C-alpha cells in the first residue's frame, strides 16, 4: 500500500503503467482555468528540471503524460500537497469546459484536499488579460484586478505568483520554500516577497539614463530610458525580472521593449506603448513621493551630460 | 449506430472527438473545441499597438508567431496608406531567427512530450528511453527546448510572450557577444538533435533523400518510424493529399499549394473562414467554437508536411511516395523541419550585421492611422493570418485565422475536413487519438 503522511495513496485508479510511488516527494496537481497555456510553457523552461523532478511529482498536468486521468483524480479522495491553478477563475459554465467538467467542479473538488493553492500567472492571480471579456465573471482566485474578492472572498491557502507569464523560477523557488518548511512572506497581493519586493527597474541596464532623465530617442537602441515616452512600467512594477533575467539571458527592457507591468493587478493597461503623463510629467515611481521625484527630476534635467547623449559604443551603428 | 465521446487530453488545451461507428469503423467524427476566450473582441477599440501586447497571449506555445503576424498586419496597414516601412536585413533576420527558435521548440516539444509518450503507451512500453520527468533523453530534450528559447530570448527579451517587435523593425540592439552566445546555444541544440534524434550530423542528415537511408541510425527518429511501421501507421491518417502555405518559408516567398506532388500558385484572397458547425452561426445546431478555413471551398492541409511537400523536399517526397499523407509522413516532416530550421538559423546568425539599424521609426504616428492590413506568417503548425482594421489609431476589427482551423475544422459527412477525413475509417479510438494528435493540435489557437 502506498502511503504518504498516513494517507492511503492507492485510491487513484492507475492507467496501467507501472509507476513508482510518490510518497517521498511533494505532490502537485496542475489545473487550468481560462488560459493560453503560457505559464505551463514558461515552467517547462525551468533549467533545473532534474532536481525539480527529484523533489516533486506532478500527479496531473493537462499537457503532460501522466498515469492518471483528470477524471480519476477527481473521483479519488487522495490528498495532494499543492494545487497549481493556471488561468482565470470563473463560475460561468459556458466559459470553460475541462474534460466535461466545469471549472467550479475542478476547483471545489481539489482545493479542499491540498495544503496550498498556487495561482500561477496573472490570470489566476488577478483575472489577467482574459478578464477583459467580462470583468464581473472572470477573476483571480481572491482578486478582481486590484479589488479584493475574486472567485473566493477568503481562502488562506492561496499564494499568488503573477506574471504574464510567470517566471519558472518564481514558481519553483516558492515550491521549494514550502517544501522545506521555510516561511513564505507575502505582500498585500499575496505575492512572495522574495521575488516581488524588487521592482523591474532594479537591475535595468538603462538605470543611468533614468537617473539623468534621458529618454531613448527611438525603439531599437541600447541607449536611453523607456520610462518617459515608451510607457515602461519598470519603476512601479514588482518583480525581479532584471535580477534573475528571463530565459536566463534577457528581459523586456534589455531587449529594448518597455516593461508592461504584467505582475501588477492592473495588467493589462491601455495604450501600453505610451507614457501617461500628468502636466507633462510621468507618474512617480512606486513609493517615491511626487515632491521628491519631481524635485530630483527638475534638477537632473537641468544638466546636460555629454557622455549619456552619445552612443554607448561609438563606432557601432555608424552606417545608418 | 454507436456514438462515443473521446476527450483528447494532453494537447495544447483540450478537444473532444465525438465518433460515430458503423461496422466497427469510424463513420464520422465531430471535432469539438469547447473553450473560447473572445480575444478578437478584447482587441476591439484598443490602440493599434496594444495588439502587440494582446495577440501573443492567444497562445503560450506560439506567442512569437502571433506577435509576428500582428506586426506584419500593422506594417501592411502602413503600406495601404502609402507608407512602406523598409526593414533592414538585420531586423528581418532577427525576426526570422526568433520565430525559428519558437518553431524548433515546438517541434522538439511535440515529439518528446506528446508523440513519443503516445507511442510508448500504444506500444506497451517497448520504447522506453523518453519517459517525461524520468528518462535521460527526455531531460535532454527539455534542456534543448530551454536552450533554443534562450537563444531566441537574447533578441526577444523573453519567451513566451516577448514583445520585441515594433513598426519598422525590432526593439533589441544586440552586440557581437550576444551573437556569439546565440551561436553557442544553437550549437548545443544542434548537437542534441544529432546525437539523440538523427544519429548523424545535421549536414549529413539534410542530404538524406530516401527513407531507407534514414533508417540506418538506430536512434530516436528512425526507431520511432520502425515502431510506427510495425503498427502499420503508414496506412492511417491519410487525408486529401492537398497542401497549402501562404507565408514566406525558406526560399519560397509566395503562396503556393500542392495537389499530391504537383505545385501551383495560390492567392490569399481565396482563403476564407466558414462558421458552419460553430456556435457562432447557430447556438443550438453548432457544436464547436472552432471555425473552419477553406481555400475556394476546399480543405487543404497546412503545417510542416505541407511546407515540405510544396518546397519539394526530397526526403519528404520519398516518404510521401511510400506512405502518402499518413501520420508517418506528418511526423517525419515535422522532425525533419527541425534540422532545416537549425541550419537556416545558423545562416542567419552568421549574417546579422549588428551595424545596421534595428528599427526605423515611422514618422507617421499610429494614432493617425485609418487603414487595414493583413499579416501572414508560417507558424509551427502552418499558415497564421491576422487581419487588422484601424480607425484613427484604434482597432475596429481584428480577425485571426490560426493554422489549426485549416486542419482541425469541421466539414460535413459529404465533405469532411482534413482531420475528419484522416480519422474516418479507422477501427479504434486509440488510432483516432493518435492521428488527431499527428496534426499537432492547439486548442487555444483554434478557438482563441
Q: What's the CATH code of the domain at A225? A: 4.10.480.10
Nearest in space to A239 (alpha carbons), one of A298, A299, A308, A189: A189
Tell me, yes or no, whether A148 lies in a domain: yes
Tell me, yes or no, whether A306 lies in a domain: no
Q: What is the pLDDT of residues A152-172, one digit of tens each?
A: 999 999 999 999 999 999 999
Interchain pair B161, A38: CB under 8 A: yes
Joined together, the cell numbers standing for residue B22 give: 458503423
Sign of CA dihedral A109, A112, A113, A114: positive
The reply to whether A172 and A75 lie within a common domain is: yes
SS3 percent helix, strand, coil of chain B, rounded to 5, is 45, 20, 35
The reply to whether A135 and A185 lie within a common domain is: yes
pLDDT at A99 (0 to 100)? 83
Joined together, the cell numbers standing for residue B248 give: 514566406
Which listed CATH number (3.40.47.10, 2.40.30.330, 1.10.645.10, 3.30.1330.40) goes with B2-447?
Answer: 1.10.645.10
The reply to whether A24 and A40 lie within a common domain is: yes
Tell me, yes or no, whether A316 lies in a domain: no
Cβ-nearest to A249 among B154, B160, B444: B154
* Domain edges within chain B: 2-447
The reply to whether A252 and A129 lie within a common domain is: no
DSSP tag of B272: E
Interchain pair A165, B161: CB under 8 A: yes
Tell me, yes or no, whether A315 lies in a domain: no
Interchain pair B37, A38: CB under 8 A: no
pLDDT at A10 (0 to 100)? 38
- Looking at the predicted structure, is the pLDDT value of residue A22 above 50? no
The reply to whether A254 and A277 lie within a common domain is: yes
A contacts of B133 (beta carbons < 8 Å): 49, 53, 58, 64
Joined together, the cell numbers standing for residue A117 give: 493553492
Report CA Rg, chain B: 21
The reply to whether A42 and A97 lie within a common domain is: yes
pLDDT at B8 (0 to 100)? 72
Q: Which domain holds residue A255?
A: 198-301
Q: Measure in Å the smallest separation between the Cα of A32 and chain B Cα atoms.
A: 9
Q: What is the pLDDT of residues B43-61, one digit of tens each?
A: 999 999 999 999 999 999 9
The reply to whether A73 and A162 lie within a common domain is: yes
Terminal-residue alpha carbon distance, chain B: 33
- Listing DSSP states for A104-137 in one string gives HHHHHHHHTTEEEEEEESHHHHH-TGGGGG-TTT
Sign of CA dihedral A72, A77, A83, A87: positive
CA-based max dimension of chain B:
68
The reply to whether A19 and A148 lie within a common domain is: yes
The confidence band for B310, taking pLDDT boundaries of 50, 70 and 90, is: very high
Q: What is the pLDDT of residues B83-121, one digit of tens each?
A: 999 999 999 999 999 999 999 999 999 999 999 988 888
Last residue of a domain, one of A194, A214, A236: A194
Q: What is the 3-state secondary structure (H, E, C) of B142-194?
A: HHHHHHHHHHHHHHHCCCCCCCCEECCEECCCCCHHHHHHHHHHHHHHHHHHH
Hey, which residues 251-310 in chain A have their CB within 8 Å of chain B?
A: 251-257, 260, 262, 268, 270-274
Interchain pair A38, B160: CB under 8 A: yes
pLDDT at A129 (0 to 100)? 97
Q: What is the pLDDT of residues A217-256, one digit of tens each?
A: 899 999 999 999 999 999 999 999 999 999 999 999 999 9
- For residues B262-270, average pLDDT: 96
The confidence band for B125, taking pLDDT boundaries of 50, 70 and 90, is: low
CB under 8 Å to A299, separation ≥6 — which residues? none
Confirm if A258 and A210 have CB atoms less than 8 A apart. no
Q: How many domains does chain A have?
A: 2
Interchain pair A317, B355: CB under 8 A: yes
Interchain pair B47, A38: CB under 8 A: no
How many angstroms separate the CA atoms of B105 and B168, rounded? 27
pLDDT at B14 (0 to 100)? 78
The reply to whether A38 and A134 lie within a common domain is: yes
Cβ-nearest to A257 among B149, B157, B159: B157
A contacts of B59 (beta carbons < 8 Å): 36-38
Q: What is the pLDDT of residues B330-356, one digit of tens each?
A: 999 999 999 999 999 999 999 999 999
Closest residue in chain B to residue A62, using alpha carbons only? B10
Q: Measure in Å the smallest separation between the Cα of A241 and chain B Cα atoms.
A: 10
The reply to whether A8 and A125 lie within a common domain is: yes
Query: Could you give the 3-state DSSP secondary structure of residue A78?
Result: coil
The reply to whether A177 and A233 lie within a common domain is: no
How many angstroms separate the CA atoms of B432 and B422, rounded? 8
The reply to whether A109 and A258 lie within a common domain is: no
Amino acid at each position: 500500500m502506498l502511503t504518504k503522511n498516513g494517507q492511503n495513496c492507492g485510491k487513484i485508479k492507475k492507467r496501467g503503467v507501472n509507476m513508482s510511488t510518490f510518497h517521498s516527494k511533494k505532490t502537485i496537481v496542475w489545473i487550468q482555468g481560462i488560459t493560453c497555456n503560457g505559464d505551463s510553457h514558461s515552467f517547462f523552461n525551468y533549467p533545473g528540471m532534474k532536481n525539480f523532478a527529484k523533489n516533486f511529482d506532478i500527479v496531473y498536468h493537462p499537457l503532460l503524460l501522466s498515469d492518471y486521468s483528470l477524471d480519476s483524480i477527481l473521483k479519488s479522495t487522495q490528498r495532494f500537497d499543492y494545487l497549481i491553478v493556471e488561468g482565470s477563475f470563473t463560475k460561468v459554465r459556458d466559459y470553460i469546459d475541462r474534460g466535461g467538467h466545469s471549472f467550479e467542479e475542478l476547483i471545489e473538488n481539489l482545493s479542499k484536499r491540498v495544503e496550498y493553492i498556487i495561482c500561477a500567472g496573472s490570470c489566476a492571480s488577478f483575472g489577467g488579460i482574459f478578464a477583459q471579456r467580462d470583468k464581473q465573471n472572470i477573476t483571480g482566485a481572491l482578486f478582481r484586478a486590484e479589488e479584493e474578492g475574486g472567485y473566493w472572498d477568503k481562502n488562506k491557502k492561496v499564494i499568488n505568483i503573477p506574471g504574464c507569464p510567470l517566471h519558472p523560477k518564481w514558481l519553483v523557488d516558492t515550491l521549494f520554500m514550502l517544501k522545506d518548511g521555510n516561511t513564505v512572506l507575502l505582500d498585500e497581493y499575496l505575492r512572495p516577497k522574495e521575488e516581488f519586493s524588487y521592482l523591474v527597474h532594479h537591475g535595468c541596464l538603462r538605470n543611468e539614463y533614468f537617473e539623468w532623465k534621458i529618454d531613448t530617442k527611438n525603439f531599437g537602441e541600447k541607449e536611453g530610458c523607456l520610462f518617459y515616452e515608451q510607457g515602461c512600467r519598470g519603476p512601479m512594477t514588482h518583480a525581479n525580472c532584471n535580477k534573475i533575467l528571463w530565459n536566463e539571458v534577457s528581459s523586456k527592457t534589455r531587449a529594448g521593449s518597455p516593461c508592461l507591468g504584467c505582475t501588477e493587478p492592473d495588467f493589462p493597461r491601455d495604450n501600453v506603448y505610451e507614457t501617461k503623463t500628468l502636466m507633462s510629467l510621468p507618474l512617480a515611481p512606486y513609493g517615491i513621493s511626487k515632491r521628491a521625484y519631481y524635485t530630483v527630476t527638475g534638477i537632473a534635467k537641468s544638466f546636460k551630460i555629454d557622455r549619456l547623449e552619445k552612443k554607448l559604443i561609438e563606432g557601432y551603428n555608424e552606417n545608418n | 449506430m454507436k456514438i462515443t465521446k473521446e476527450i483528447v487530453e494532453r494537447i495544447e488545451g483540450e478537444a473532444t472527438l465525438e465518433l460515430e461507428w458503423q461496422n466497427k469503423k469510424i463513420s464520422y467524427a465531430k471535432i469539438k473545441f469547447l473553450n473560447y476566450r473572445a480575444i478578437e473582441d478584447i482587441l476591439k477599440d484598443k490602440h493599434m499597438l496594444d495588439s502587440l501586447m494582446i495577440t501573443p497571449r492567444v497562445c503560450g506555445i506560439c506567442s512569437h508567431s502571433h506577435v509576428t503576424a500582428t506586426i506584419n498586419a500593422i506594417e501592411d496597414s502602413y503600406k495601404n496608406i502609402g507608407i512602406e516601412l523598409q526593414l533592414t536585413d538585420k531586423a528581418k533576420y532577427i525576426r526570422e531567427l526568433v520565430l525559428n527558435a519558437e518553431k524548433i521548440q515546438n517541434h522538439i516539444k511535440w515529439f518528446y512530450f506528446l508523440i513519443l509518450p503516445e507511442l510508448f503507451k500504444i506500444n506497451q512500453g517497448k520504447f522506453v528511453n523518453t519517459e517525461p520527468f524520468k528518462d535521460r533523453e527526455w531531460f535532454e530534450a527539455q534542456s534543448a527546448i530551454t536552450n533554443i528559447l534562450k537563444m531566441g530570448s537574447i533578441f526577444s527579451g523573453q519567451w513566451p510572450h516577448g514583445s520585441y517587435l515594433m513598426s519598422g523593425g525590432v526593439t533589441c540592439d544586440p552586440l557581437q557577444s550576444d551573437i556569439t552566445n546565440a551561436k553557442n546555444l544553437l550549437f548545443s541544440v544542434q548537437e542534441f538533435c544529432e546525437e539523440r534524434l538523427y544519429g548523424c550530423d545535421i549536414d549529413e542528415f539534410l542530404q538524406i533523400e530516401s527513407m531507407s537511408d534514414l533508417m540506418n541510425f538506430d536512434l530516436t527518429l528512425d526507431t520511432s518510424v520502425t515502431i510506427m511501421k510495425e503498427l502499420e501507421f503508414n496506412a492511417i491518417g491519410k487525408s486529401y493529399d492537398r497542401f497549402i502555405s501562404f507565408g514566406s518559408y525558406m526560399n519560397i516567398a509566395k503562396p503556393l499549394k500542392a495537389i499530391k506532388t504537383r505545385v501551383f500558385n495560390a492567392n490569399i484572397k481565396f482563403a476564407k473562414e466558414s462558421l458552419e458547425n460553430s456556435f457562432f452561426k447557430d447556438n443550438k445546431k453548432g457544436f464547436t467554437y472552432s471555425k473552419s478555413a477553406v481555400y475556394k471551398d476546399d480543405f487543404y492541409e497546412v503545417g510542416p508536411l505541407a511546407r515540405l511537400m510544396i518546397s519539394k523536399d526530397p526526403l519528404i517526397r520519398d516518404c510521401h511516395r511510400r506512405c502518402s499523407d499518413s501520420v508517418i509522413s506528418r511526423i517525419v516532416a515535422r522532425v525533419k523541419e527541425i534540422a532545416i530550421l537549425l541550419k537556416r538559423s545558423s545562416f542567419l546568425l552568421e549574417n546579422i550585421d549588428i551595424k545596421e539599424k534595428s528599427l526605423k521609426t515611422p514618422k507617421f504616428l499610429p494614432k493617425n492611422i485609418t487603414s487595414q492590413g493583413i499579416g501572414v506568417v508560417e507558424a509551427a503548425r502552418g499558415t497564421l493570418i491576422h487581419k487588422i482594421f484601424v480607425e484613427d489609431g484604434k482597432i475596429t476589427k481584428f480577425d485571426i485565422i490560426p493554422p489549426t482551423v485549416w486542419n482541425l475544422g469541421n466539414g460535413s459527412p459529404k465533405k469532411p475536413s482534413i482531420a475528419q477525413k484522416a480519422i474516418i475509417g479507422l477501427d479504434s479510438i486509440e488510432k483516432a487519438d493518435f492521428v488527431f494528435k499527428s496534426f499537432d493540435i492547439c486548442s487555444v489557437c483554434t478557438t482563441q
